[in-house]
Structure 1
Amino acid sequence: MLTKSKDLRTGNPLWLSQPVPRILTSKLTKDQRTDIVIIGAGITGAMAAESLSAAGFKVILIDRRGPLKGATSASTALLQYEIDTPLTVLSGQIGRDKAMRAWRRSKLALESLHARITSLGLKCDVKPVCSLFLAGNVLDADGLKLEAKNRNEIGLYTDYLTRDMLKNDHDIRRIAALKAYDNLSVNPVKLAGGFLLKAIEHGAQVFAPVTAERVETHRDGADVITAEGPVIRARYVIYASGYEMPKDIRTRRHSLNSTYAIATRPQPDKLWPQKCLIWEASDPYLYMRCTADGRVICGGEDEEFEDEDKRDSMLTDKVARLEAKLKDMFPQLDTKADFAWCGSFGASTTGLPTIGAVPAKANVFAIMAYGGNGITFSRLGAELLTTTLTGGQDPEADLFGF
Structure 2
Amino acid sequence: MLDPETTRHDDLRSGSGPWHAGARPAGRRLEQDTRCDVAIVGGGITGALLAEHLTAMELDVVLIDREREGFGSTAASTAMLQWEIDLPLRELAALYGFERAAEVYRLSFEAVDGLGRLVQELALPCRFSHRQTVYLAAGETGPRELLDESQLRGRAGLPGAFVEHAALLGAFGFDRKAAIVSPGSAEADPLSLCHALIATAAQRGARLIRDEAVGFDGAGRSAAVSLASGHVVEADHVVLATGYVMPDLVRDDLHSVASSWAIVTAPQPPHTLWPGPALVWEASEDYCYCRTTTDGRIVFGGEDEDFADPDKREALGPQKTKALLARLHALIPQAHLELGHSWSGAFGQTEDGLPLIGRVPGSPRLLSAYGYGGNGITFSFLASRLIGSLIRGREESWFGHFAIDRPRPG
TM range (shorter): over 0.9
Which residue number in structure 1 is paired with residue 253 of structure 2? 252
Deviation at 1:274, TM superposition (A): 1.3
Which residue number in structure 2 is paired with residue 2 of structure 1? 2
Distance 2:308 2:84 in 1: 28
Distance 1:31 1:286 in 2: 47
Q: Which of the residues 282, 291, 296 maps onto 1:280?
A: 282
Distance 2:140 2:351 in 1: 15
Deviation at 1:375, TM superposition (A): 0.3
Deviation at 1:20, TM superposition (A): 3.5
Which residue number in structure 2 is paired with residue 36 of structure 1? 38
CA contact (8 A) 2:216 2:225 kept: yes
Deviation at 1:121, TM superposition (A): 0.7
Per-residue Cα deviation, 1:296-347 (whole angstroms, up to 9, x for no partner): 0000000111511111111001101111111111111112321000111111
CA contact (8 A) 1:260 1:299 kept: yes
CA contact (8 A) 2:264 2:299 kept: yes
Return the letter of the residue paired with 2:261: Y
Distance 2:332 2:2 in 1: 45
Distance 1:225 1:346 in 2: 24
CA contact (8 A) 1:53 1:199 kept: yes
TM normalised by structure 1 equals 0.97
Change (3 A) 1:195 1:306: closer
Return the letter of the residue paired with 1:377: F
Distance 2:38 2:192 in 1: 24
Which residue number in structure 1 is paired with residue 238 of structure 2? 237
Q: Which of the residues 333, 341, 344 maps onto 2:343?
A: 341
CA contact (8 A) 1:323 1:336 kept: no
Q: Which of the residues 72, 75, 78 maps onto 1:76?
A: 78
CA contact (8 A) 2:71 2:191 kept: no
Identity %: 36
Please list, as runs of the form range in 1=range in 2, the aligned pairs for 1:102-117 lying within 5 A after superposition: 102-117=104-119
5+ residue gaps in structure 2?
405-410
Return the letter of the residue paired with 1:136: A
Per-residue Cα deviation, 1:166-214 (whole angstroms, up to 9, x for no partner): 1000011001100010210100001111111111112111111x11111
User: Mean alpha-carbon deviation: is it higher for 131-140 or for 121-130?
Assistant: 131-140
CA contact (8 A) 1:369 1:378 kept: no
Deviation at 1:218, TM superposition (A): 4.4
Deviation at 1:98, TM superposition (A): 1.0
Deviation at 1:268, TM superposition (A): 4.5
5+ residue gaps in structure 1?
none
Per-residue Cα deviation, 1:235-285 (whole angstroms, up to 9, x for no partner): 100000011112211111011111000000111512111111000011111
Change (3 A) 1:189 1:306: closer
- Provide the secondary structure at the position in 2 that maps to 1:22: coil
CA contact (8 A) 2:21 2:191 kept: no
- Provide the secondary structure at the position in 2 that maps to 1:332: coil
Return the letter of the residue paired with 1:191: L
- Provide the secondary structure at the position in 1 that maps to 2:339: coil
- Provide the secondary structure at the position in 1 that maps to 2:149: helix
Distance 1:140 1:119 in 2: 41
Please list, as runs of the form range in 1=range in 2, the aligned pairs for 1:1-400 lying within 5 A after superposition: 1-3=1-3, 4-6=6-8, 7-15=11-19, 18-137=20-139, 139-208=141-210, 210-269=211-270, 270-400=272-402
Per-residue Cα deviation, 1:10-67 (whole angstroms, up to 9, x for no partner): 112221xx34433331112210111110000000000011101110110001011221
Deviation at 1:362, TM superposition (A): 2.7
User: Mean alpha-carbon deviation: is it higher for 258-267 or for 323-332?
Assistant: 323-332
Root-mean-square deviation over aligned CA pairs: 1.2
Change (3 A) 1:221 1:84: same
Return the letter of the residue paired with 2:231: P
- Provide the secondary structure at the position in 1 that maps to 2:363: coil
CA contact (8 A) 2:347 2:371 kept: no
Distance 2:32 2:113 in 1: 40
Distance 2:25 2:295 in 1: 25
